[in-house]
Structure 1
Amino acid sequence: MDLHVRYEGDDDPDKCTARKLARHDLAALHRSDRATPFGVVLNPHAEQALSPADRSVGERLVALDCSWESAGEARFSLAGEHRALPFLVAANPVNFGKPFRLTTVEAIAAGLVILGERTQAEQVLAKFTWGETFLDLNAEPLARYADCADSAEVVAVQDEYLADE
């Protein structure tokens, strides 16, 4: 699956997971909305959850890389089918254990697993010392989300995890 990132450049470049993916030729960075190709856009404000059914949209997964402080709904004006990731817990050192506070690479890897591309998810996470931890922490929910037929099923599974929180 082709990986694309709309890159804002407002985070510390030394800690930016999207830049690291680009340095290793694992994702393409784009500096404008117009330059960012159409695909499945990972958007925390989307009305639909990402599910395996979204494979039908195509072979592109798109993420927005920006600071959490500026990740408002207005920032997600990218062309594509917008989908929210379901409940997952961060493994990155800054937000370890926090739900929904994923880095760009964690979001991309989660999307890949849900879309049936686990091997590619492992490849992108392998560039980070904590990458495997992300898959370990979220092993059960990711497997369950990947087994769902559609967004409604993903939301039903997510609701079980949110009830436990």
Structure 2
Amino acid sequence: MDLHVRYEGDDDPEKCTARKLARFDLVDLHRSDRATPYGVVLNPHAERALSPADATGTLVALDCSWESAGQARFSIPGEHRALPYLVAANPVNFGKPFRLTTVEALAAGLVILGDRPHAERLLAKFTWGETFLELNDEPLRRYADCADSAEVVAVQGEYLDRQA
């Protein structure tokens, strides 16, 4: 699967997971919406959850600061899908639900779309990368077994109920 990142450049370059992935030629960075290829766009504001039914050849993430990640920032053309409930393993947001770095989001997307080995290659570049897969092992496996977005939302509901 081709991985692309619409790169805003508004966060700390030293902590930017997208830039690190690009240095290893694991993703392509794009500085404009027009330059970003059409594909499945990971968007926390999307109305549909990502599911295995969304498997295409291109996965796109937006790399920006969480402070500026409002819905208006997601103007990238493509099929927008939200990631279901997962917790972060990165040092800044460890244990926080839905506060994933770009690499965590891409890796989660890859696992849900059926390409766990590709996700493992991305996460191997980070000392905490394996922890992300360990923390989210059960939900990621369950999401990957779903047929469509509705099933993913139902599984997510179980995790959200546990948190309440």
Same fold by TM-score, threshold 0.5 exceeded?
yes
Instruction: Report deviation, 1:116.
Output: 0.2
**For 2:153, what is the secondary structure of its paired residue?**
helix
Q: Give the TM-score normalised by the residue count of structure 1.
A: 0.98
User: Corresponding residue for 1:146?
Assistant: 144
1:82 corresponds to: 80
Q: CA deviation at 1:28?
A: 0.2
Task: Describe how 1:58-69 pairs up with structure 2 within 5 A.
Answer: 58-69=56-67
RMSD of equivalent CA atoms? 0.3
User: Hey, what's the Cα distance between the residues in 2 that align with 1:9 and 1:40?
Assistant: 21
Name segments (4+ residues, structure 1) moved above 3 Å: none
Alignment of 1:99-110 (within 5 A): 99-110=97-108
Name stretches of at least 5 consecutive residues in structure 1 with no aligned partner.
none
What do residues 51-76 of structure 1 show as CA deviations (whole Å, max 9, x unaligned)?
A: 00001xx2000000000000000000
Alpha-carbon deviation of 1:128? 0.2
Amino acid aligned to 1:117: D
Which residue pairs with 1:71 in the alignment? Answer: 69
| Cα distance in structure 2, aligned partners of 1:146 and 1:21 | 24
Aligned residues: 163
Equivalent-residue separation in structure 2 for 1:41 and 1:26 (angstroms): 17
**TM (normalized to structure 2)?**
0.99
**In structure 1, C-alpha distance between the alignment counterparts of 2:159 and 2:151, rounded to whole Å:** 13
Q: Look up the match of 2:24.
A: 24
- Give per-residue Cα distances to partners, 1:3-57, cap 9 Å, x unaligned: 00000000010100000000000000000000000000000000000000001xx
Cα deviation, residue 146, structure 1: 0.1
Superposition deviation, residue 80 in structure 1: 0.4
Per the alignment, residue 37 of structure 1 pairs with 37
SS at match of 2:60: strand
- How far apart, in 2, do the equivalents of 1:51 and 1:12 lie? 31
User: Between the two proteins, what is the percent identity of the paired residues?
Assistant: 83
CA distance in 1, matches of 2:19, 2:142: 30
- SS of 2:80's partner is strand
Residue 97 of structure 1 deviates from its aligned partner by 0.2
- List alignment gaps of at least 5 residues for structure 2: none
Superimposed CA distance per residue, residues 127-146 of structure 1 (whole angstroms, 9 cap, x where no aligned partner)? 00000000000000000000
